[in-house]
Homo-oligomer: A and B are copies of this chain.
Amino acid sequence: MELEQAKRRFIDSWGALGSQWGINRTMAQIHALLMISPDSLSMEEIMEDLSISRGNASMNLRGLMDWGIVHKEFKPGERKEYFYGEKDLDELAVKIARERSKREIKPALKVLKDVSSIDPGASSEKKYFTEQTGKLYDFVSKADNMLEKATEYKDNWLAQLVLKIMR
């Protein structure tokens, strides 16, 4: 397999994977491209490589920067902005986990907390509802905490977590 071919395969499948995870195809593709690019790339270069419009490139680059997994750089003497991906994979994982928690899990927890705290009263229907949503709240909350802990300690997470628990 040739480089160009391998590159395409990687970018395409990363894009497809992204869509399955609720990240749009282009955003995932730009990310993939930057992950395998030794140098930072200008918007022009990204547009060219992925055959996408300027608007699309601009919006998705901004999105990636909001996630904190792509950064801007200015090259001395040049006016263009250059973009590069976060290449430290631990750091990448931490950023993604944090953002997903903030954007998706936390709001879901709020809803669960709200709906699980209606007055259960006498009705057995209500009782069941508050019970189930309450359990769900506890569970999601626990999972979110674990995720937070795991990211907090990165590679050394296990040892440190054990220490913290035992103390």
Interface residues of A in 1-48 (CB under 8 A from B): 1-3, 6-7, 9-10, 13-14, 17, 19-22, 35-36, 38
- Say if the beta carbon of A87 comes within 8 Å of chain B: yes
Q: Determine if B35 and A136 form an interchain contact, defined as CB atoms under 8 angstroms apart.
A: yes
Cα distance, A17 to B108, chains bound together (Å): 7
Chain B residues within an 8 Å CB radius of A161: 158
- Say if the beta carbon of A126 comes within 8 Å of chain B: yes
Total count of chain A residues near the partner, CB < 8 A:
45
Closest B residue to A111 by CB, please name it: B13
- Say if the beta carbon of A53 comes within 8 Å of chain B: no
- Say if the beta carbon of A49 comes within 8 Å of chain B: no
Question: Other CB < 8 Å A-B pairs besides A1-B115, A3-B118, A89-B135, 8 of them?
Answer: A9-B114, A10-B111, A13-B111, A17-B104, A17-B108, A20-B103, A38-B125, A38-B128
Q: Determine if B89 and A126 form an interchain contact, defined as CB atoms under 8 angstroms apart.
A: no
Q: Determine if B3 and A123 form an interchain contact, defined as CB atoms under 8 angstroms apart.
A: yes
* Least CB distance, A91 to chain B, in whole angstroms: 11
